[in-house]
Structures are given as structure tokens and as C-alpha cells.
Structure 1
Amino acid sequence: MSVIAFPYSTPVEPRLRRIGRIVAIGAILCVAGAVLAVPLLWSSDEVLRHWIATQSPLGARPFTLHAGTRLIGALISLIGLAPVLYALWQLSMLFSRFARGEVFVTENAWRIRRMGLALIVNALMSPLVQMLTTINLTRANEPGQIVVMFGIEQSQVLSVLSGLALVAFATVMADAVRLWHENSEII
């Protein structure tokens, strides 16, 4: 493993360690919150109806809620959430290393790459998850009222671009660590 020591003076290092710990813990709390939010959303009629009316593409269209709809909806939500959870986990691990003072490490470049790929996968999965959710909520409706919605939003395009930027940054970082390691062996 190649490690480049952080070149800043000592007063900055405690700040980096503190920021690293805060982001690492914050990312883990976000993972826990997201996982807990799924059953909360799908178990509460009031929260679910509000979410469907304001956040879902169904809006005011008719939908049916029963135990099967809720269970399948929660599973679809968790599948759709998986890339985000993975990216948050990678973020936590990355900033844990920062908190330990390991900044320019090859493994960090791979973590950044994984976060970028997870953002891309999330953006590509989102329209499918949206479509499956609308089908699930309307499958018990009367014939002719089943809704199939598929759409691409601006946030999904931005997520793909952000993911590509992270993959590119990770590639540059991995090359920089490799070059530093080669140069340190020459001297």
C-alpha cells in the first residue's frame, strides 16, 4: 500500500481528523436513517399517501394499499436505495481513512471510484424503480387504471455526470499515488 504523508503543517491535521470523523459518522447515520425510513414510509398510511401525492409521479391518480403492496413497495425501495447505501458506506470508509491521516492512498482512489460508479448505477436504476413502484401501487386497480410511468429527471443526469467526474478523479488520484511511489523509489 502506498501512502503519501499529508503535507500540511500540524495545526491543520487535527481539523482534518475532526472533519474525517464527522463525515464518516454522518455517512453511517445517513445509511441507518435511510434503511429505517423505508419501513416507516411503507407502514404508515398517512406518510405514504402524503409521499405519493407530493413526491410520486402518481400524484392524484388512484392507487391501492394492502399488505402485499406495502411489502413489495418496501423491497423495491430498498433495491433502489442499495447504490446510495453503498456510496455512503464508501464515503464513510474514505473519511475514516482521512481521520487516520491516510489521505493519498491507492485504496482511497478505489473508494472514490466505487462512489462514482454507485452514483451512476443509482441514476440508471431510478427510472426502473419509479416504474416498478407505480406498477406496484396500481396493479390492484380496476382494468385500465394500471399506471406505468417511466421518466428521466435532471437530478439523474447530474448524478451520472457527478459519478463520471468521481471516476475520472479517482483515476487521476490512483496515477498520482503510483507516480509518487515510483519516484520515491528512485530517490
Structure 2
Amino acid sequence: MSVVAFPFPAPVEPRLRRIGRIVAVGALLCVAGAVLAVPLLWSSDEMLRHWIATQSPLGARPFTLNLSTRPAGALISLIGLVPVLYALLQLSMLFSRFARGEVFVTDNAWRIRRMGLALIANALISPLVQMLTTINLTRANQPGELVVMFGIEQSHVLSVLSGLALVAFATVMADAVRMWHENSEII
């Protein structure tokens, strides 16, 4: 097996720089949008009822919206968003480095690893967040109408698998960067 190593980093294409800037800014906009969406969702009866009917496991079951369930629901939602926000921030920082031409560096591998771990954490806490949300929305119901729902969905399994793939990819990338640096010192 022959290996060709270049002693100097290859120049980064303008296209990669442009993509890097777009993804970095897009990820930050997603962070801002997600953080702003939580209070908007929990402050609007219409949006909240639509979300509960279509996205929540409660569906058509009775629930209560009042001044105590709204802030608690928003807080639970924000706690559930923490791994996603962290992954998006790591994505933004990764692609910022790509935009600067820093592609094959060890720090990028660690950012990819952190994104993978955040996806795994998100998949693990999502059922708990779902359960706390259903309890919160039904705790003020009539006696006997408290709903506790806990479920693992296909998206949770896919998130864990994606996270594991990113962790594995990051490990391979870190080894490749290390070998590239070792080879570049020999030449």
C-alpha cells in the first residue's frame, strides 16, 4: 500500500469556504429560532393546542393549560433542547473552521465527536422530556385524568445510531489527522 502525503495543507476551495459560512450561520439561526420558538409556542393557545393534537402523545386526551403549566412546559422544552442547541453550536463552530480553511485538524474531530454525543444525549432524554410534558399538561386535570406517557420512537433509535456513527467518524478522523501530521514531518 502506498501513501502519498503532502507536507503543506491543500488549499481550500472557495466553494467549501462558502458552504462553511452558510452552514455556520444557518446553524446559529436554528439555535436562535429554537430558543425563540419555545416561549412563542407556550404562550399561544392555538399553536399549543395544534402541537398537542399533532405532535404530542396526548393527542385528543384532556389537558389543562393555565399559568402554572405554561412556564413549566416551556422550561421542560428548553431542557429538552439543550443537547440539540449544543450540537448546533458545535456544527456552527466546525463549519466556521471550514470557512477559514482549517479542515484536517484534530479539534474538528473532537467537535464532530461532541455532536455525536449530543445526539445520543438528546435521544436518551427525549422520552423523559416527553413524559414530563405529559405529566405537566395533565397534572391540573380532574382526579384520575393524570397521563404519564413514556415511549421510545424510531427517531430516538436513529438519533443514537447517527450519534454513534459521528463518534466513530470522529475517531477515524482524529487518527487520520495524527497520521497526516506524522507523515508530513517525515518528508
TM-score bin, normalised by smaller chain: over 0.9
Which residues of structure 2 form unaligned runs of 5+?
A: 1-6
User: For residues 67 and 37 of structure 1, what CA distance do their matches in structure 2 show?
Assistant: 18
1:149 aligned counterpart, secondary structure = coil
For residues 60 and 4 of structure 1, what CA distance do their matches in structure 2 show?
62
Paired position in structure 2 for 1:112: 112
Partner amino acid, structure 2, of 1:64: T
Q: 1:122 to 1:89 in 2, by over 3 A?
A: same
The whole-number CA distance in structure 2 between the counterparts of 1:139 and 1:156 is 26
| CA deviations over 1:38-92 (Å, ceiling 9, x no partner) | 0000000010011001110000111111111000000000000000000000000
Identify the residue that residue 100 of structure 1 maps to in structure 2: 100
CA distance in 1, matches of 2:11, 2:125: 40
Matched, 1:5 2:9: yes
Q: CA deviation at 1:183?
A: 1.7
**Counterpart code for 2:10:** F
The residue type equivalent to 1:67 in the other structure is L
Superposed counterparts of 1:102-141, under 5 Å: 102-141=102-141
**Cα distance in structure 2, aligned partners of 1:86 and 1:136:** 25
Equivalent pair of 2:11/2:101 in contact (CA under 8 Å): no
Residue 4 of structure 1, CA deviation: 6.7
The offset of 1:6, in angstroms, is 3.4
Contact 1:118 / 1:163 at 8 angstroms: preserved in 2?
A: yes
Q: Take 2:9 and 2:68, find their aligned partners in 1: how far apart are those partners?
A: 54
Q: Percent identity?
A: 87
Separation in 2, partners of 1:158, 1:144: 35
One-letter code aligned to 2:22: I
CA RMSD of aligned residues (A): 1.3
TM-score where L is the length of structure 2: 0.94
Separation in 2 of the partners of 1:28 and 1:4? 32
Q: Distance in 1 between matches of 2:184 and 2:163?
A: 31
Structure 1: distance between partners of 2:11 and 2:74: 47
Q: Which segments of structure 1 move beyond 6 Å, counting only runs of 4 or more?
A: none
Q: Provide the secondary structure at the position in 2 that maps to 1:62.
A: coil
Residues 109 and 170, structure 1, Cα contact 8 Å, conserved in 2: yes
The one-letter code sitting in structure 1 at the alignment partner of 2:81 is L
Contact 1:4–1:102 at 8 Å: present in 2 too?
Answer: no
Q: What is the Cα deviation at residue 184 of structure 1?
A: 1.7
**2:150 corresponds to which letter in structure 1?**
F
1:18-167 matches, within 5 Å, as: 18-167=18-167
